[in-house]
Chain A
Amino acid sequence: MSGPSAPPSAGAAWTPSPREVERREQRRRLRLRSILIATIALVVVFVGLGLLVVTSPGWDRVRVSFFNGFHAKASLPDIARAFWINVKMFLIAEPLILVAGLAIALARGARSPWLVPLRVFAVAYTDVIRGVPTILLILLLGFGMPGLRLQGVPNSAFFWATTALVISYSAYVAEVFRSGIESIHPSQLASAEALGLSRGQTMRFVVVPQAVRRVVPPLLNDFVSLQKDTALASTLGVFEAVFVARDYTNYNFNYTPYVVVAAFFVALTIPLARFTDWLGRRYAERERAGAR
């Protein structure tokens, strides 16, 4: 484009050579071809799977008992209300798990001989708690602790289910933090020492900040898992979303509420998964300081 005020160009404007034109044409053809193949493959696979489901002999029965509009509408308000309990439980547990997990990870890394009991406790804690199925922890705490009838010990099922989740998940998260701490290069520690930082300061200003950043993706992975495990609280009678769905199902002999409640969990998990990916990318870019 040369306007009237543009400086006079030397010779004619640039036009791509015939070979370049041919190249572009070839690239365009290849692109189109791969789009076409991808589309056909997608359609064939998904239509094929769809047909497989819909043409199976039991499909009518499954459709009536799993995809029933009436029951979906009837159960939706109660499920939506109860889903708030899952969200609440998860939001309360998450910060507590982070704090407890980091504390246990640091206790495992303690070097002073005075702190050996603490280290032993931290090791035993992670070993034992990770070995116990979460549902058992919930049952043991939820039915055991209120049974003690201690003054000042709350006996709400919600409280004990949340506590059990915190105890269980902080053991996993402690291991995640520990792997992050141990992944920091020894040169960082040596540099900190050379600067005259104490061990505590080294941890606080050098190691932990880097370690936390490094383990964000696996941490968020654990939290997606935590979201789903809030459903285990139903074993204590916490009337959360999955339990509401089961209750409706048990009374009306129709499984549609299960599909409804699954949709709720997926709707909560997918944004978190995308956020995790984004965060991971951002940290990676930062660490490489512009290098690609």
Chain B
Amino acid sequence: MRLRGSVAVLPLVLPILAFSACAPVDDAPSSTANTSSGSGSAAPDDCAVDSLPLRTAGTLTVGTDSPAYDPWFRKNDPTNGQGYESAVAYAVAEQLGFSRDQVTWVKVPFNSSYKPGAKDFDFDINQISITPARAQVVDFSDGYYSASQAVVALKGSAGAEATSLADLKGLRLGAQTGTTSLTAIRDDIQPDTDPVVFEDTNAAKQALQNDQVDAILADLPTALYISAVEIPDSTLVGQFQVSSGDAEEFGMLFEKGSGLVSCVNQALATLQDDGTLDQLQQKWLYDAADVPELQ
């Protein structure tokens, strides 16, 4: 059996075909003012809407996960300006000079928000904690919220009796995957049994009600909302700050090297200084004063 010559060269041609089919496209963001430092400040005129490096000219594209959880968003709808993160996003947009209808939201699952390459959002706002390891892969804005960890348990259960972190050691604890809450269990509490890891907050709530865990950990506002609204017979056991390093902060997530970071940071600084962020926290999140500290 001799192959016809034309067939025989086929394997040799394939890679060449592949080369031409996948003509490489470089997708560097078309940034004008490309300051890749995470916390620079730009001259005011650099932050005019026309000169901002945007995904889509003239609109600010904001990403968040779906479902969008209370109290960060309301009714799973980020476009209504209700809930803390939705309100912050619109406040920042306003500072940058966008009207409300110039802001579009896209659904970005958390685990695709940090994938390499171009992003399909200008920034992602999704209760993402700023950590040094993450900051090597993406750019973060300055923090717009200082989070602390909180523990939720069913009323009358062993978890509800805890008055210190040591009391939690012997219990079955759970938290959402990839969160600082989970790291807090592993590093700060170091329970006797491995922590239970959940896909999302809903799975955690379900497991708590099914007696598959004694207590779940989440950031304070989420935990407050769970105990006050979502699971009536649960209680907020207490809150604590993680021991590692500085206070934990939530930041907006940008593509690495995005030219937008400095302008957003400027807007956040303004909102911080005029008290808007505090007001929004009061309005949408809570008054954290009456939550006991766990040592």
Which of A's residues lie within 8 Å of B, judged by CB?
37, 40-41, 44-45, 47-49, 51-52, 55-58, 61-62, 64-65, 143, 146-147, 149, 155-157, 234-237, 239, 243, 246-247, 249-255
Contacts and interface: CB of A to CB of B under 8 A. Distances in A.
22 contacts: A41-B11, A48-B15, A57-B27, A58-B116, A58-B117, A62-B116, A64-B116, A65-B137, A143-B206, A146-B211, A146-B212, A157-B196, A236-B203, A237-B196, A237-B198, A237-B207, A239-B194, A243-B177, A247-B197, A250-B111, A254-B133, A254-B137
Given A237-B196, A252-B134, A61 B16 contact: no
Interface string B209-246: 11110000000000000000000000000000000000
B185 interface: no
B24 A55 contact: yes
Contacts of A237: 174, 196-199, 203, 207, 212
A82 to B, nearest CB: 10
Contact of A247 (B131, B182, B212): B182
Contact of A52 (B19, B136, B198, B212): B19
Contacts of B212: 146, 155-157, 237
Interface residues of B, number: 43
Given A56-B22, A155-B210, A61 B177 contact: no
A246 B116 contact: no
Interface in B114-167: 114-117, 131, 133-134, 136-138
Contacts of A246: 111, 177-178
B289 interface: no
Contacts of A55: 24
A101 B102 CA distance: 58
B247 interface: no
Contacts of B134: 252-253
A61 B116 CA distance: 6
Interface of B: 8, 11-12, 14-16, 18-19, 22, 24-27, 110-111, 114-117, 131, 133-134, 136-138, 174, 177-179, 182-183, 194, 196-199, 203, 206-207, 209-212
A57 to B, nearest CB: 4
Contacts of A252: 133-134
B18 A155 contact: no
A262 to B, nearest CB: 16
A156 B210 CA distance: 10
Contacts of A61: 116-117
A147 B26 contact: no
Given A52-B18, A147-B206, 14 more contacts: A41-B12, A48-B14, A49-B15, A52-B15, A52-B19, A57-B24, A143-B206, A155-B212, A234-B199, A237-B203, A249-B111, A250-B178, A251-B131, A251-B133
Given A239-B194, A247-B177, A48 B18 contact: yes
A18 to B, nearest CB: 26
Contact of B138 (A41, A48, A62, A253): A253
B119 to A, nearest CB: 12
Contacts of B110: 250
A52 B26 CA distance: 14
Given A143-B206, A237-B196, A45 B15 contact: yes
Contacts of A143: 203, 206, 210
The 3 lowest CB-CB distance pairs between A and B, nearest first, are A250-B178, A48-B15, A61-B116
